[in-house]
Amino acid sequence: MIRSIVRGVGTALPRRIMKNAEFETLVDTTDEWIVQRTGIRQRHVAAEDETTASLGEAAARAALANAGLTPADIDMIVLATSTPNNTFPATAVEIQERLGMRHGFAFDMQAVCSGFVYAVTAADSHIRSGLARRVLVIGAETFSRILDWSDRTTCVLFGDGAGAMILEGVESPGLLTDRGILAASLRSDGSHRDKLYVDGGPSTTQTVGHLRMEGREVFKHAVGMITDVVEDALARGGITAQDLDWFVPHQANKRIIDASARKLGIPEEKVVVTVHLHGNTSAASVPLALGAAVADGRIRQGDLVLLEAMGGGFTWGAVLLRW
Ligand code: ACO
């Protein structure tokens, strides 16, 4: 059978780092509150010349370098984002153009914070169906552009950034010992759409709008949804949480990450955490965390890795893969 194996990963972050203390001059908050409730200590914020397309391009180039490939080797790009450069065309085609690609195809995927996990499964499906052989999967966001900077309940939580992964189809025996994507599970439930949304859009207000969130409500559902979908992906893969080498969760809140890992029985030392450095970067959060753990040598070839995310919609999902 064909498996989608990881050939490389790369990340990109805006130049400017914004520490929690800076928010004390903007809204009624403290560094202590932010750290205690979320684990976030800083985030990167894009300058005017840094966009979802430019950050996505930089992450893509880093992943290509990591894989020892060039844009000519790629035949599909899928970009997970909720903050595209324009309503259309897809920001993925802008990245395609920036990479000098005139071949293949590119499209955006919108599943908010679950976007990267959704995009990885879409890439895997395209590879296994034969529509693509090497896919550039990117998660890139500039949430700073849709934040209400006067709302302390949301503006302290998010950051900007991008991460990319290159998947390649290879013939495999179809065993649990194969490298590549072994199982996945995706969910959504639109009845929760008003708990985390943007209050604008082309077909309603004709404005971009701002992010709105009932944080407590999201928190209440997060751990149960995350652990359900992770357990489903593990069952589909025929393994248990104890078999995992690395758990790479969506980086929204350290308390949600800790509670999910505890419920799944995954020890702290196997959990990759970057939320203190990046805040919640939505679709970029999982590939940014992956990139960090690969760069520092924690994740190595042969390791069993579980990716997980949950976000607006609600959407949620998990991917099990062997590095
Ligand atoms: N500084 C100081 N006080 C604050 C701040 C702040 N920045 N923000 C809120 N507060 C206050 C509230 O007003 C409230 O005050 P009150 O008790 O007087 O009403 C108090 O702090 C407690 O507020 P809660 O919302 O109950 O705080 P909680 O412990 O739930 O933490 C948080 C809030 C961090 C938002 C948490 O609920 C959370 O992480 N939620 C989930 C976010 C998430 O995972 N999102 C999913 C993905 S995002 C995506 O898809 C785009």
Domain boundaries, the chain: 2-171, 180-322
pLDDT computed for residue 25 by the predictor: 96
Neighbour-count burial for 301-310, b at 16+ CB within 10 Å, e otherwise: eebbbbbbbb
- What class does CATH assign to 2-171? alpha beta
pLDDT computed for residue 285 by the predictor: 98
198 lines ligand 1 (CB under 6 A): no
Ligand 1 atom closest to 29 (CA): 1
Q: What is the mean pLDDT of residues 165-180?
A: 97
Residue whose Cα lies nearest atom 7 of ligand 1: it is 152
Q: What is the mean pLDDT of residues 100-123?
A: 98
Q: Do domains 2-171 and 180-322 have the same CATH topology?
A: yes
Task: Please tell me the distance between residue 201's alpha carbon and the centre of ligand 1 in angstroms.
Answer: 25
Q: Tell me the percentage of the chain whose pLDDT exceeds 70.
A: 100
245: pLDDT confidence band, cut at 50, 70 and 90?
very high
DSSP β-ladder status, 246-249 and 180-188: unpaired
114, 280 contact by CB (below 8 A): no
For this structure, is 155 an active site residue? Answer: no
Task: Please tell me the distance between residue 199's alpha carbon and the centre of ligand 1 in angstroms.
Answer: 19
The catalytic residue among 44, 85, 113, 253 is: 113
Rounded distance between C-alpha atoms, residue 58 and residue 162, angstroms = 8
pTM: 0.97
Per CATH, which fold does 180-322 belong to?
Answer: Peroxisomal Thiolase; Chain A, domain 1 (3.40.47)
| Identity of the residue numbered 118 | Y
248: pLDDT confidence band, cut at 50, 70 and 90?
very high
pLDDT computed for residue 228 by the predictor: 98
DSSP β-ladder status, 16-19 and 42-45: antiparallel
pLDDT digits (tens, 9 = 90+) for 42-94: 999 999 999 999 999 999 999 999 999 999 999 999 999 999 999 999 999 99
Q: Which two tokens stand for residue 75?
A: 């035949």
- Which SS3 state, helix, strand or coil, does residue 100 take? coil
Q: Which two tokens stand for residue 283?
A: 């679709």
156 lines ligand 1 (CB under 6 A): yes
For this structure, is 250 an active site residue? Answer: yes
38, 253 contact by CB (below 8 A): yes
Tell me the CA distances in angstroms from 142 to 146, 169, 192, one per residue in order. Answer: 8, 31, 23
Task: Please tell me the distance between residue 215's alpha carbon and the centre of ligand 1 in angstroms.
Answer: 5
146: pLDDT confidence band, cut at 50, 70 and 90?
very high
252 lines ligand 1 (CB under 6 A): yes
218 lines ligand 1 (CB under 6 A): yes
Q: What is the mean pLDDT of residues 226-242?
A: 97
For this structure, is 66 an active site residue? Answer: no
pLDDT computed for residue 319 by the predictor: 98
Backbone φ, ψ for residue 205 (5° rounding) = -100, -10
pLDDT digits (tens, 9 = 90+) for 270-320: 999 999 999 999 999 999 999 999 999 999 999 999 999 999 999 999 999
CA 88 to chain centre: 21
112 lines ligand 1 (CB under 6 A): yes
pLDDT digits (tens, 9 = 90+) for 2-40: 999 999 999 999 999 999 999 999 999 999 999 999 999
Question: How high is the mean pLDDT of the chain?
Answer: 98
126: pLDDT confidence band, cut at 50, 70 and 90?
very high
285 lines ligand 1 (CB under 6 A): no
pLDDT computed for residue 247 by the predictor: 98
pLDDT computed for residue 112 by the predictor: 98
pLDDT computed for residue 88 by the predictor: 98
Closest CA to 254 of 237, 238, 272, 241: 272
